Amino acid sequence: MPTLSGHAPGTFCWPELYTTDQNGAKAFYCGLFGWGVKDLPMGPDRAYTIFTLGDRDAAACYGSMPEMEQQGIPPHWMAYVAVESADQAAAKAKASGGSALKDPFDVMGIGRMAALRDPTGAAFCVWESRGHFGVGVLDEPNALMWTELMTGDPEQAAAFYRGVFGWAARVWPMADGSSYHVFMRGESPAGGMIKITPQMGPVPPVWVSYFQVRDCEAASSSATRLGGRISIPPQDVPDVGRFAILVDPAGAHFGIMQPVPRG
C-alpha cells in the first residue's frame, strides 16, 4: 500500500498515546496491531516512541511526566489535526470560545504545535509541519481510520470547529432515532461527532481514535488476552462496519473498526 507524503489542513494526522506504562503500552499495541517500534531519545532514561506499520509511522507514545501526574491526567490517546499555522489555529480556537492548554511551541525543529480545548471540554492538538507531517499510513488494517468527538453539546462543538478548521457538520439520521454528525473538510469527511447521553454514564467530552482491524471480534479478544479490556463490545453500524471500544492495560480508551467491504 502507498506511503502518504503529507496531510491537507484539517486532517487528523497523528494519534499520540500518553501512558503511565510506556513499556507495557509497547507490548500491548505491538501485540494487538503488529506495530514496530522506534524509540527517539528525549533525555536521561526517557524516549518518545513512534509505532510503525512496516516502514511507515502509524502512531506515537510517550511515558509518564511529573507535571501530568501532579494534575491527575490519566492515560489517553490525543488527536492531532494538521494546520498551516499553529499560532493562527490557537488564535481561532480562543476567538471561537475554546482555550489553550499549551500555547504554540516548537518541537525539535520538525514542527510547531499547540494543545487546545474546545468549549465543551474536549482536548486536541494542532500540528504545523516543519519537516515531519504526521503518520505515513491511514485507512488500512492496523492504522488510524477515524476520529470521533463525544460531547454534551454538538451544536456548540460544530460552531467551534467550523470557526477553527472550517469544517461543516452534516447530520446523519441513525436507525435508532438519534443523529450522527460528520465533520466535512470540503467534500471529504474529517471526523465524526456523537452526543453524550445520560445512558452512557459519566463520559467526559473527548476525541476517540479508531484503528482499522480485519476482524473486530478477534481484535477484541486479543486485547483482553494482552491485558486490556472491552468497554463497548463489538456491534454493527449499518453500512459502515463493526466497531468496539477497548481500554489498554494502563486505562487509555480507543476504538477499533472493521469496515464494511467496498466494491
209-255: pLDDT as tens digits: 999 999 999 999 999 999 999 999 999 988 899 999 999 999 999 99
Q: Residue ranges per domain, the chain? A: 9-263
Q: Are 151 and 120 in contact (CB under 8 A)?
A: yes
Give DSSP secondary structure letters for 191-244. Answer: EEEEE--GGG-SPPPEEEEEEE-S-HHHHHHHHHHTT-EEEEEEEEETTTEEEE
- CA-CA distance, 96 to 118, in Å (whole number)? 9
Q: Please enumerate in sequence order all residues whose Cβ is within 8 A of that of 93, keeping only pairs 6 or more positions apart, or say none.
A: 99, 100, 114, 116, 118, 160, 164
- CA-CA distance, 222 to 142, in Å (whole number)? 13
Task: Please write the tens of the pLDDT for every residue from 82-113.
Answer: 999 999 999 999 999 999 999 999 998 899 99
Task: Please write the tens of the pLDDT for every residue from 9-54.
Answer: 999 999 999 999 999 999 999 999 999 999 998 877 889 999 999 9
pTM of the complete model: 0.95
Instruction: Report how far apart, in Å, the C-alpha atoms of 252 and of each of 139, 220, 248, 256 are.
Output: 21, 15, 5, 13
- CA-CA distance, 256 to 1, in Å (whole number)? 20
- Polymer length in residues for the chain: 263
pLDDT at 1: 62
9-263: CATH number: 3.10.180.10
Task: Please write the tens of the pLDDT for every residue from 130-171.
Answer: 999 999 999 999 999 999 999 999 999 999 999 999 999 999
Q: Are 77 and 58 in contact (CB under 8 A)?
A: no
pLDDT, mean over the chain? 94
